[in-house]
Amino acid sequence: MNFKKFLLPFAAGALALGLAACSDDEENANAPEEENAQTEAPSEEEQQAAAEEMQAKLAEQQVEEDEVVAVVNEQELTGVEYNAALSQIQGQMQQMGQDPTSEEAAEQVKTQALDSLVNQTLIIQKAEEAELDASEEEIDEEFTAFQEQFGGEEAMNEALEAQGMEVETLRDQIAESIKFEKYVTEAVPAEEPTDEEVQEYYDQAAAQSEESGQEMQAFEEVSEQIKQILTEQKQNEQLMAHVEELKADSEIELMI
């Protein structure tokens, strides 16, 4: 698991989802027409109307920015934070072809957004208790890398503006992600998988590839990648268990 991505739904995650959505739109626009299509593709105006209708439905799930949605160890979490977490989860569901505005999904989205917000808050609180901090140099390094992911400063600023975010908001989130990562490294250090676990993972993947008629890469070519996957899985499991322990020792009140 990429813990920075886990921590950054408010800025980085929302921006990434926005760019992915743009990319999907371009792919759909450039996709070849199916032969013998039964119906014509929606017009540009119809697509725009559908997009606006969906955006309105997504916005209906948000709360007032100053509304207190939860209290975690006397720290109030407001609608600003909740709405940002909500938007990321909505975007993730849309990318998976699901409708986050359906009656069935609405409660699920709400629960996931609150849970994500509470979990992150608990970790940041513990990081601050441990006096873990992010230096300007560390923030600058991550900020530059993030800029490069978006194809430069201008492209990133455009994405920020489209999401209604300020550069300083992004830098603040990057700072929190650094503190988050430092705490995780100390609290649940990564544990490397055994050779047997790596081999077992490879064998299962190879069997699945064979069933689907595909050829698996040689073990030597993918063993390091498998180690990384298993290491992240182990650390993620440990982190989730640690968060549950923090919850048990914390005062948490959900207000919505």
CA distance 127 to 176: 9
Mean pLDDT over all residues of the chain?
83
Write the burial class of residue 204 (CB in 10 Å: 0-12 exposed, 13-18 middle, 19+ buried): exposed
pLDDT of residue 40: 65
In order of their start, the domains of the chain are 3-24+59-192+245-254 (1.10.4030.10)
* 202-212 per-position pLDDT tens digit: 999 999 998 99
CA distance 85 to 109: 10
* 162-177 per-position pLDDT tens digit: 777 788 888 888 898 8
* 81-122 per-position pLDDT tens digit: 898 889 888 988 888 889 999 888 989 999 999 998 999 899
Q: 233: which 2 tokens?
A: 């899985």
Edge-to-edge strands, sheet with 252-254:
75-78, 68-72, 252-254
